Amino acid sequence: MYKAPRGTSDILPKEQAYWKHIEEKAASLCQLYGYQPLSTPIFEDSQLFARTVSGGTDLVDKEMYIFEDRSGQKLALRAEGTAPVCRAYLEHGFFNLPQPVKLYYVGPAFRYERPQAGRYRQHQQFGVEAIGSADPALDVEVIEMAQRFLLSLGLSSFSIQLNSIGCNLCQPKYIEVLKSHYSNYIAYLCPDCKVRMLKNPLRLLDCKKASCQKIAETAPKIPDYLCPECQAHFQSVQQYLGILGISFKLNHRLVRGLDYYTRTVFEVGPQKEGAQSVLVGGGRYDNLIEQLGGKATPAVGFAAGIERFILNLKRAKIYVPLPPKPAAFIAYLGEEAKIEAIKLAAELRQVGLAVVKAIDDKSLKGQLRQANSLEASHVIIIGEREVKTQSVVLRDMIENKQKIVPVTEIARVLNREQKTR
């Protein structure tokens, strides 16, 4: 028997309420801050990710789903949302609009990772991108949005970690200092860090191995090496966060897993848990649009993993609104009653009443069992006598009472019952 591919899962009907709730909260948050929706394709030219996310990150080296289409073009399943949004920004000439252009998206991302709780090969991201301004107030706006998003879902015990990783000017100088620190410990580095040393030294700070973490603890701190402009930017971000009363923790080892970041980086998650517990990750990416062939255009954004939000809502026993139950289940007994039931179901749906009609000529017991499993508050029963008298039996499944109602009255009665529930 076939199964969903490893690291993917079906979202069953009983789970859908979580998805709908979170996506509705995301949309209203974006409306509140003036971000407009944008949908990009599920696959893109593989170079879009390879160039921008950059070599030396796990995402490019090991995790992308790359395939050739029938014309031989190399494509990649969307690995993350930022590069596609920037591609669309350039393709549609959004640089001609008043800046910054503020966009958001909800959609799947694909990464060939080792699956575990909170880490999947297909996951759903809600992301925001504000493109066209270097104002630190915009960094603070997206951090504030991330915080408001969690709070709007009832998630309150989390922390915001903040760092600045500098710019083209100061970051290379810091990397030299960092490499020289690590060169004293080469023999003690894990095999991955030996590769990072050559390909992506900043990521050395992020290694989860205990032996490497010891070396990271004593490493020089990037905020001490920022150029005056990056330093001023970082100070303003902290100052504005303070003005808004948003608490954060400075973490000089926070570097993020993608390579396009400059200056501000941040993550939101529960304290002291593994990487797969990070709920929101983001930061500034002032060089990305230029890397894609546009003019130098600063930008900042974040993405949130919906599955991780659902895990946290369940852990915190936060319940989400359930979809409405049917107003009534229509049961029938006999062929003539079946025809009346078909007609009545169509009439009630026509006036906007959600009804489920029995199918397959089951016994009354079987039909009532189905009504119960649908949690219908009322059952309409039509038998031979009801056909003759142009009426129905209306059974209230909650109060366990029943009454005879003329067919012409049933829509009005159901409507009234719904309002009083």
Question: Applying CB under 6 A, which residues contact ligand HAM?
Answer: 80-82, 111, 113, 118-120, 123, 125, 127, 129, 257-258, 278-283, 285, 301-305, 307-308
Q: How far is the CB of 220 from ligand HAM (least distance, A)?
A: 25
H or E stretch including 336? Answer: helix 335-350
Residue nearest to ligand HAM (CB): 305
- Comparing CB distances to ligand HAM, the nearer of 302 and 329 is 302
Q: How far is the CB of 190 from ligand HAM (least distance, A)?
A: 21
Q: Alpha-carbon distance 378 to 389, whole Å? A: 20
Q: How far is the CB of 85 from ligand HAM (least distance, A)?
A: 8
Q: How far is the CB of 100 from ligand HAM (least distance, A)?
A: 13
| DSSP class of 123 | E
- Comparing CB distances to ligand HAM, the nearer of 122 and 418 is 122
Quick one: tokens of 372?
Answer: 């119960």
- Comparing CB distances to ligand HAM, the nearer of 233 and 378 is 233
Q: Alpha-carbon distance 376 to 385, whole Å? A: 24
Q: How far is the CB of 299 from ligand HAM (least distance, A)?
A: 8
Helices (H) and strands (E) in the chain, counts: 15, 16
CA atoms within 13 A on the CB side of 161: 18
- Comparing CB distances to ligand HAM, the nearer of 285 and 329 is 285
CB 285 within 8 A of CB 128: no
Q: Alpha-carbon distance 284 to 67, whole Å? A: 30
End-to-end CA distance of the chain: 44
Bridge partners (DSSP) of residue 357 are 330
Q: How far is the CB of 125 from ligand HAM (least distance, A)?
A: 5
Rg of the chain's alpha carbons, rounded to an integer?
Answer: 28
User: Would you call the peptide bond into 136 cis, given omega within 30 degrees of 0 as the criterion?
Assistant: no
Q: How far is the CB of 392 from ligand HAM (least distance, A)?
A: 50
CB 304 within 8 A of CB 98: no
Q: How far is the CB of 217 from ligand HAM (least distance, A)?
A: 23
Quick one: tokens of 306?
Answer: 């919906």
Phi-psi region of 263 (alpha: psi -120 to 50; beta: other; left: phi over 0): left
Q: Residue 412's closest CA among 369, 370, 353, 368?
A: 353
- Comparing CB distances to ligand HAM, the nearer of 125 and 164 is 125
- Comparing CB distances to ligand HAM, the nearer of 199 and 362 is 199
- Comparing CB distances to ligand HAM, the nearer of 201 and 283 is 283
- Comparing CB distances to ligand HAM, the nearer of 300 and 331 is 300
CA atoms within 13 A on the CB side of 240: 15
